A = this chain, B = another copy of it.
């Protein structure tokens, strides 16, 4: 199955077997943060069931967008969906990532790509923030464990100046 349906000639608008998804974050000097992208990609792959999902970092860490793009093609992708893991649009989403993806794609003729929107104004994101707040308040009240982000840091507490 190509992203263009052979019977109708239309571009498919769901993620198909010949599609790959690259989830790109900024990249950090802190390996802890880079590794979290891998965890997110694993969650994403498990929850969506998509065949080809790769992480990439825009800068500061490997794998690069170029590496991830190449890997997707090697895994059989005919179309690459680049999902910038950024909350709001900014220079990285406007310019840097499109430029890096365009460069990467030049090495693979016949492979089309799409770059998706930043995540910011999505109703479910309100629920994510609110859920973090409620979990944190439950923890400081003694009713819940620290979440994975705070575990072991001792940071999740009420500060009473």
Complex contact A109–B161 (CB within 8 A) = yes
Complex contact B28–A149 (CB within 8 A) = no
Chain A interface residue bracket vs B: 35 or more
Contacts of A150 in B (CB 8 A): 117
Task: Provide the bound-state CA to CA distance between A99 and B10, in Å.
Answer: 54
Complex contact A155–B33 (CB within 8 A) = no
Counting every copy of the chain, the complex holds 2
Task: Provide the bound-state CA to CA distance between A133 and B83, in Å.
Answer: 7
Q: Using a CB–CB distance below 8 Å, which chain A residues touch chain B?
A: 3, 10-15, 21, 23, 25, 28, 30, 32-33, 36-37, 39-40, 43-44, 47-48, 79, 81, 83, 85-91, 98, 101-102, 105-106, 108-109, 111-138, 140-144, 147-150, 155-161
